[in-house]
Amino acid sequence: MEQAPIDRAATLALAAGVRRMLVKVGDTRTRLDAPFTEADVTRYLVHEDGFLRVPVLLVGDLLVRGYTEELYLEALSGRHGETL
């Protein structure tokens, strides 16, 4: 079963309950704390074609954009804020 693309409105709704984001873009990792603006969510999650085109992990009120082993270990262990 193919997953339908997630558009900007659905991405904003997905991020509405998020209080923290760990974001990996290229070699850069960034921490963001709520409140997030629509511009924050759009900048980090919405591709220029208007859809969510990156993998995200949601753990409670934490959203992780991009993958590194360290980010996933932090997200899944509950050690938010200790390393990056």
Picking from 3, 26, 14, the residue whose alpha carbon sits closest to that of residue 62 is 14
pLDDT digits (tens, 9 = 90+) for 21-67: 999 988 999 999 999 999 999 999 999 999 998 889 999 999 999 99
Question: Please, which pLDDT band fits residue 80 given cuts at 50, 70 and 90?
Answer: low
The pLDDT of residue 39: 95
Q: Judge whether residue 1 has pLDDT over 70.
A: no
pTM score of the predicted model: 0.83
Contact criterion met (CB below 8 Å) for 43 and 32:
no
The pLDDT of residue 82: 52
Question: Please, which pLDDT band fits residue 3 given cuts at 50, 70 and 90?
Answer: confident
Q: Which tokens in the block code for residue 24?
A: 């990996």
Q: Cα(46)–Cα(34) distance, rounded to whole angstroms?
A: 18
Q: Judge whether residue 83 has pLDDT over 70.
A: no
| Identity of the amino acid at 29 | R
